[in-house]
Amino acid sequence: MELNRRTVIAGAAAAGLAATTLGTGSAEAASGGRKPVKESFGKLADGTKIYRWSLENGGTRLKVLNWGGVVQSLEIPDRRGHYANVSLGFDNIDDYVAKTPYFGALIGRYGNRIAKGQFTLDGKSHQLSVNDGVNSLHGGKQGFDKHVWDVEPFTKGTDVGLHLHYTSVDGEMGYPGTLKATVTYTLTRHGDWRIDYEATTDKATVVNLTSHVYWNLAGEGSGTIEDHELRIAASRYTPTDSGLIPTGELAKVAGTPFDFRHAKPIGRDIRDGHEQQVQAKGYDHNWALDKGITAGPEHVATLRDPRSGRTLKIATDQPGLQFYSGNFLDGTLTGTGGRTYRQGDALCLETQHFPDSPNHANFPSTVLRPGQTYRTTTVHTFSA
Q: Which residues have a Cβ under 8 Å from the Cβ of 237 and sit 6 or more positions away?
A: 250, 251, 253, 258, 285, 286, 287, 288
Q: How far is CA 100 from CA 62, 88, 89, 132, 196, in A?
A: 19, 10, 8, 14, 24
350 is catalytic: yes
Query: How buried is residue 371: exposed, middle or buried, by Cβ count under 10 Å (0-12/13-18/19+)?
Result: exposed
Residues 6-15: contacts with CB within 8 Å, 24+ apart? Answer: 8/59, 8/77, 8/78, 8/79, 8/81, 8/383, 8/384, 9/58, 9/59, 9/77, 9/81, 9/191, 11/77, 11/80, 11/81, 12/59, 12/77, 12/81, 12/82, 12/83, 14/81, 15/81
End-to-end CA distance of the chain: 10
**CB neighbours (10 Å) of residue 54?**
17
Choice among 56, 350, 360, 380 that is catalytic: 350
Rounded Cα gap, residues 292 and 308, in angstroms: 32
Catalytic residue among 212, 228, 285, 353: 212
Give φ, ψ of 307 to 5 degrees.
Answer: -70, -50
CA distances, 52 to each of 45, 68, 97, 320 (Å):
17, 11, 15, 30
Q: Which residues are catalytic?
A: 212, 350
